[in-house]
Amino acid sequence: QAQLEQSGGGSVQAGGSLRLSCALSGLTFSGVCMAWFRQAPGERRREGVANFYTSENTPRYVDSVKGRFAISQDSAKKTLYLEMTTLKPEDSAMYYCAVRVGRCGGLRADSFGVWGQGALVTVSS
């Protein structure tokens, strides 16, 4: 069965950078949509940040992170990365990766059935 193992995260000052990793197992890396979500403290909803269809190099980002966050992949390691730069305090959240088979559509959390364990990102001002 498909599983996602996350690593990365941490605490930085505003303007700093962090990288998150998400390693996929139990599922082929090609032909899947992998996405990043975040859940801010006190929020019930997971906000979609970016998605990436592994068979095409076409990442999509929400407006709030465009130009600051970037997705990359290492298909040999079946790992997706989220490079986060120019971090802001409002980026502080628990970040989750998720995967589903097939092309990416929108960034609805309920359309993904497999999730990583989460990685905490804290940005101080």
Interval 101-124: pLDDT, tens: 999 988 999 999 999 999 999 999
pLDDT at 8: 96
Torsion of CA 111, 23, 54, 18, to 10 degrees: 90
pLDDT band at 95 (very low <50, low <70, confident <90, very high): very high
pLDDT at 106: 84
Q: Average pLDDT in the 43-56 region?
A: 94
Question: In the chain, where do the E strands start and end?
Answer: 3-8, 10-13, 18-25, 32-39, 47-53, 60-61, 69-74, 79-84, 93-101, 114-115, 119-124
pLDDT at 105: 85
C-alpha to C-alpha distance for 40 and 18, rounded to whole angstroms: 17
* Beta strands 3-8; 119-124: pairing state: unpaired
Q: Average pLDDT in the 37-65 region?
A: 94
79: Cα separation from own chain's centroid? 11
pLDDT at 57: 79
Q: Is 97:34 a contact under the CB 8 Å cutoff?
A: yes
pLDDT band at 4 (very low <50, low <70, confident <90, very high): very high
pLDDT band at 12 (very low <50, low <70, confident <90, very high): very high
pLDDT at 114: 97
Name residue 51's amino acid.
N
91: Cα separation from own chain's centroid? 12
